[in-house]
Amino acid sequence: MHLVGTCVLSFSLLMASPLVSATVSKSFKDCSHFFYMQSPPAGIKGTNLRRVCQKYADKLRYSTLYDSSHHLPLYSAYIFKKSDGKRRMDTPWMYEPQLVSDDDSGNMRAIPLTEDTPPLIEDSQAVLEDYTDAVEYRRGPLNPDLHQSEPDDKSSTYTLTNVVPLLTNLLDAFWNPYLDIIRRRLNNFCHGKSFIVTGVTLSGGTLQRDNRDRLGIPKYLWLAYCCPKFDRNSPYEVRFMFPSYGGYALNEQTDHSVVEVPLKTLESFLKSHTDNDLNIFYKGCVSENTFKKKRDLTSVSV
Local structure of residue 174 (DSSP, 8 states): I
* Cα–Cα distance, 200 to 119 (Å, whole number): 27
Give the whole-angstrom CA distance, residue 59 versus residue 23. 11
Reduce the DSSP state of residue 23 to 3 states and report it: strand
pLDDT class of 18 with cuts at 50, 70, 90: very low
**What's the CA dihedral at 179, 183, 184, 185 to 10 degrees?**
90
| Cβ partners under 8 Å of residue 3, min gap 6 | none
End-to-end CA distance of the chain: 99
Contact 14, 109 (CB under 8 A): yes
Rounded mean pLDDT of 194-216?
A: 93
Q: State how far the Cα of 199 lies from the Cα of 31, in Å rounded to an integer.
A: 18
The answer on pLDDT for 136 being more than 50 is yes
Rounded-to-integer distance, Cα 90 and Cα 297, Å: 63
> What gap in Å lies between CA 73 and CA 177, rounded to an integer?
22
Nearest to 40 by CA among 22, 28, 26, 52: 28
Distance CA 180, CA 8 (A): 43
Which fold would CATH assign to domain 41-300? Extracellular Endonuclease; Chain A (3.40.570)
Residues 44-48 have a mean pLDDT of: 88
Q: Give the C-alpha separation, 163 to 15, whole Å.
A: 22
Domains of the chain by residue range: 41-300
| Eight-class DSSP state of 173 | I
Which of helix, strand or coil describes residue 245? Answer: strand
Checking if the pLDDT of 11 tops 50, the result is: no
**DSSP label at residue 226:** E
pLDDT at residue 116 in the model: 67
pLDDT value at position 22? 58
pTM given for the model? 0.87
Residues 6 or more apart whose Cβ sits within 8 Å of residue 191: 227, 229, 230, 231
Query: Is 8 a residue whose pLDDT tops 70?
Result: no
Highest averaged pLDDT of the listed ranges 9-13, 24-28, 54-58, 239-243: 239-243
Please count the other Cβ atoms lying within 10 Å of the Cβ belonging to residue 152: 15
Q: What is the pLDDT of residues 49-65, one digit of tens each?
A: 999 998 887 788 999 99
Instruction: Provide the 8-state DSSP code for 143.
Output: S
What pLDDT does residue 107 have? Answer: 67
**Alpha helix (H) ranges present in 94-226?**
119-122, 151-155, 168-169, 176-189
Contact 72, 180 (CB under 8 A): no
As a whole number of angstroms, the distance between CA 222 and CA 197 comes to 8
